[in-house]
Amino acid sequence: MDKYEILKLETGQCYIVPESDYGKAEIWRINNMYFVFEIPMYGGTPVYSRSYKLDQIDKMIYWINEWS
C-alpha cells in the first residue's frame, strides 16, 4: 500500500489497495475523511468498513494491513 498515493487523493478520489485481481480495499477521500470499503475476496460490491480523519492515515494503513 502506497501511503503517498493516498495522501495525494483529493475529495471524491479513490485508491484501491492492491492484493489480488480484485484488490483488498477501496479508500475514498470525502472532504476531510477517508472511508474504507472492504473488497470481497472473489470480487463483488465493496462493503463499508470504517472511516478515519486525514491525520489518522498511519492508523488506517496499520488496520488494513492487519486484515488476513
Residue 30 to residue 27: CA distance in whole angstroms: 10
pTM summary value: 0.88
Q: Per residue of the chain (68 residues), what is the pLDDT tens digit? A: 789 999 999 999 999 998 766 578 999 999 999 999 998 887 789 999 999 999 999 999 999 988 86
Write down the pLDDT at residue 21.
Answer: 60
**SS3 for 10?**
coil
Contact in structure between 36 and 26 (CB atoms under 8 Å): yes
**What element of type H or E holds 60?**
helix 57-65
Domain range enclosing 23: 3-65
Instruction: Name the domain count of the chain.
Output: 1
Tell me which residue of 43, 36, 42 sits closest to 64, measured CA to CA: 36
DSSP strands (E only) in 1-68: 14-17, 25-30, 33-38, 47-53
